[in-house]
């Protein structure tokens, strides 16, 4: 697992908690079952900082071309996402062509989803000061500065010194959950 935090690694970072009225521990158990039963799960999310076609897909495809896996690293937090748990019926890779959500997979209260085929608890410390925003209008900006306030997800590239020992006072972000993304990486969702 520590091989995820290495020089020049590319990661998708997300803060997670209660979503669509479902506690995080229940979400994790449901997603693990979906992976076991269907071979894939859709990890739902919203917001524009990790838009499927302009951010996540190009970011992940670049890593795939280099034969590198793309990991989603998640910081557990207290949240109060009490939106209606409306399940999505369909997904789209491009926002135009739609197909049914795979049998046995549920994604609720989200506009977008990441496709994952591995999910596991973790105990990692991510030094956000040693990461940069990988693309978009804030490309190159320090991840520590970028992920603050209401920004809760980002496509990141770790710096050359990402795996060097941390200074005693260097802040880190606890990562409690890691998932491996699979093609097509991110999709749009809708309810018919």
pTM (predicted TM-score): 0.94
Whole-angstrom distance, CA of residue 182 vs CA of residue 117? 6
Count other Cβ atoms within 10 Å, centred on residue 57. 18
pLDDT class for 82, splitting at 50, 70, 90?
low
pLDDT digits (tens, 9 = 90+) for 6-42: 999 999 999 998 887 788 999 999 999 999 999 999 9
Q: Which helix or strand (DSSP H or E) is residue 110 part of? A: none
Residue owning tokens 């990991």: 71
Helical spans, DSSP H, in 4-56:
24-38
SS3 77: coil
Which neighbouring-strand residues pair with 174? 125
pLDDT digits (tens, 9 = 90+) for 34-69: 999 999 999 999 888 899 999 999 999 999 999 999
Closest by CA to 137, choosing from 122, 151, 117, 118, is 151
pLDDT digits (tens, 9 = 90+) for 134-152: 999 999 999 999 998 778 9
User: Assign residue 113 a region: left if phi > 0, alpha if psi is -120 to 50, beta otherwise?
Assistant: beta
Residue owning tokens 């910081």: 75
Q: What is the mean pLDDT of residues 118-126?
A: 94
Q: What is the mean pLDDT of residues 180-187?
A: 97
CA distances from 65 to 60, 70, 142 (A): 9, 11, 25
């Amino acid at each position: 697992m520590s091989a995820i935090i290495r020089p020049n690694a590319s990661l998708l970072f997300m803060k997670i908690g209660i979503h669509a009225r479902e506690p995080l521990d229940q979400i994790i158990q449901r997603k693990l079952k979906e992976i076991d039963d269907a071979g894939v799960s859709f990890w739902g999310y919203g917001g524009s900082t990790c838009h499927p076609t302009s951010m996540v897909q190009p970011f992940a495809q670049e890593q795939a071309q280099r034969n590198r896996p793309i990991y989603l690293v998640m910081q557990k937090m207290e949240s109060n996402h009490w939106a209606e748990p409306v399940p999505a019926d369909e997904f789209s890779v491009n926002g135009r062509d739609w197909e049914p959500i795979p049998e046995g997979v549920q994604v609720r209260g989200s506009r977008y989803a990441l496709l994952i085929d591995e999910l596991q608890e973790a105990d990692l410390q991510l030094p956000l000061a040693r990461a940069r925003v990988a693309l978009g209008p804030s490309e190159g900006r320090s991840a520590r500065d970028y992920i603050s306030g209401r920004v809760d997800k980002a496509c990141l590239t770790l710096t050359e010194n990402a795996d060097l020992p941390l200074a005693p006072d260097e802040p880190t972000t606890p990562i409690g959950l890691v998932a491996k993304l699979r093609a097509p990486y991110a999709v749009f969702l809708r309810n018919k």
